[in-house]
Structures are given as structure tokens and as C-alpha cells.
């Protein structure tokens, strides 16, 4: 029996074929190519399907287009892609982000790990570039409970068996789902590794897969309810203050000018 392919790339997408094509080309430019790419489209858009079909002609990598309109949102799409993918590792990439050419080869060098997080560059809609948060190899569950330390849906590789065993991403979290997954993986005994070299270009402004302020605030409260018992009193207070600040900003933005 042949060994399973080492890695599959799963890309959730939602009505952004031009950005998706950029993301796909960054996968095709990897020094270590994935066995396959699974594009999961929660709109079932003909424009997106056409973009994926056109890209598939450019690359030797096997490309799958999956219309999954039964459940909307990046977490649901990632979970669907993980179920249909055939690989030892899952590498997630959002449709508005890009990997640098050595992203996969560097991450997969940590073959003793079960979950790998990669540092990133943050880009705004005007093309401004700044260092993003850097996940450190020394971080443990306590660090992640306090705040997101550099994880995104595009900076993570995880063994598929582990991902399915812990239930994948929580589809009820519209933000913080990556942090939640890291914490649950650690609780399951996963071996964690971090790449401090910045090999991801993460779009930090402009169109996002998740932009609804009420959904994001609701997700922050859900995250707190899920994990408060494992957090210190100080960390719970810190989280509540962050939520209160975000709520005030949201209300301020929604107030019309006099």
C-alpha cells in the first residue's frame, strides 16, 4: 500500500476570484509542492469556478473545486476541505493571503511536530508591510489562552488525523477560531512547533472573509465562555476589557455624523 501524500492545501473562498488566483499562484510557486489543492467555495460562484479552472491549466498540482454552499464561513469550508483531502498534513490558506516560496518546505521540516505555525508579514490594502506577530516555540496553552500569538487560518499546518480527532475549527467562532484550534490541539497532547521566519503575506486590511462586527464580538464572548475555566482571573478580566473596547469602537463607527 502506498504512503499517503504528505500535504494538501485547503483554501476557503467567498466571492473573490482575483484574490483567490493570487493565493493559488503562491501555492504553485512553492519549492515543495503540495499533493493537491482543495478550493472550497461557499457561494458556488461560476466566476470562482472559472478562476479555479483557469488556474488548474497553469500548474501540475492537482486542483479540486468544491462548492459547499450548505454551510457558510471559513471554518465550515476549512472543515469540509479537511474531510475530503487525502494527505498526512493539512495546510490552510485564506483566499486573500499568499505564501512565500519556502513556506511549505520550511514548515514540514518540523516533522516531529503535530501542529506548526508560521510567522507572517501583515499587508494593508495600500500595500504597506509590517511584521506580524511571531509565534514562539516556547508558547504553551497558557500563552494562547491570554491572546492570539500569531496564528491565522493561513499560517497553520496540522496533521489531518489530529485535526479530525479534535473536531476541526469551531464554525460558531467567526474570529479566534485559529487560536481555539491551537488550544484544543495542545490539550489533546499535540507537539507544537513554530517557524519564526516570516513566510506568509497576510492581508490585514481591506476585504476579509469575516467582517461582521457583531459576529466577531459574539465570537469573542463564545471563546471566553469556552475557555474561561482554564484562564486566570486576570486573563478573564483582560479579555473582557478587550471585548468592551471593541464594542465601544464598533458603536462609535456606527454613529452617524451630526
Flag residues of the chain having pLDDT under 50: 1-2, 207-209, 211, 252, 254-258
Q: In whole angstroms, give the CA distance from residue 221 to residue 216.
A: 9
Give the three cell numbers for residue 6. 504528505
Contacts of 40 (CB under 8 A, 6+ apart): 10, 11, 12, 13, 66, 68, 77, 78, 80, 81
At 175-222, the pLDDT tens digits run 889 999 999 999 999 999 999 999 999 987 654 445 456 667 777 788
- 66 pairs with which residues across the strands? 40
pLDDT of residue 255: 43
**For residue 230, what are the CA distances in angstroms to 63, 141, 216, 235?**
41, 9, 22, 10
pLDDT of residue 72: 77
* Helix residue ranges per DSSP H, 29-169: 46-56, 74-84, 103-108, 141-146, 160-165
pLDDT of residue 183: 93
At 129-144, the pLDDT tens digits run 899 888 888 888 888 8
pLDDT of residue 258: 38
Q: In whole angstroms, give the CA distance from residue 158 to residue 190.
A: 9
pLDDT of residue 205: 61
Q: Would you list the domain boundaries of the chain?
A: 7-209, 212-258
Q: Structure pTM?
A: 0.86
Q: Under CATH, domain 7-209 is a member of which superfamily?
A: Spore Coat Polysaccharide Biosynthesis Protein SpsA; Chain A (3.90.550.10)
pLDDT of residue 225: 85
Amino acid at each position: 500500500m502506498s504512503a499517503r501524500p504528505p500535504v494538501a492545501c485547503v483554501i476557503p473562498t467567498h466571492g473573490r476570484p482575483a484574490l483567490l488566483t493570487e493565493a493559488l499562484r503562491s501555492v504553485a510557486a512553492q519549492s515543495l509542492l503540495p499533493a493537491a489543492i482543495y478550493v472550497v467555495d461557499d457561494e458556488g460562484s461560476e466566476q470562482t469556478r472559472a478562476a479555479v479552472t483557469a488556474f488548474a491549466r497553469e500548474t501540475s498540482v492537482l486542483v479540486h473545486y468544491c462548492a459547499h454552499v450548505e454551510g457558510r464561513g471559513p471554518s465550515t469550508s476549512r472543515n469540509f476541505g479537511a474531510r475530503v483531502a487525502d494527505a498526512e498534513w493539512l495546510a490552510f490558506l485564506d483566499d486573500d493571503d499568499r505564501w512565500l516560496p519556502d513556506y511549505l518546505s520550511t514548515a514540514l521540516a518540523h516533522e516531529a511536530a503535530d501542529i506548526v505555525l508560521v510567522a507572517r508579514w501583515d499587508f494593508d490594502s495600500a500595500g504597506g508591510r509590517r511584521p506580524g506577530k511571531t509565534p514562539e516555540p516556547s508558547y504553551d496553552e497558557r500563552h494562547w489562552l491570554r491572546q492570539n500569538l500569531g496564528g491565522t487560518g493561513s499560517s497553520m499546518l496540522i496533521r489531518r488525523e489530529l485535526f479530525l480527532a479534535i473536531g476541526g475549527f469551531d464554525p460558531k467562532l467567526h474570529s479566534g477560531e485559529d487560536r481555539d484550534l491551537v488550544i484544543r490541539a495542545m490539550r489533546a497532547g499535540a507537539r507544537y512547533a513554530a517557524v519564526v521566519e516570516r513566510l506568509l503575506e497576510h492581508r490585514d486590511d481591506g476585504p476579509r472573509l469575516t467582517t461582521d462586527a457583531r459576529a466577531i464580538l459574539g465570537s469573542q464572548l463564545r471563546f471566553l465562555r469556552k475557555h474561561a475555566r482554564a484562564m486566570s482571573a486576570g486573563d478573564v478580566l483582560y479579555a473582557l476589557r478587550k471585548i468592551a473596547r471593541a464594542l465601544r469602537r464598533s458603536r462609535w463607527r456606527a454613529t452617524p455624523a451630526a
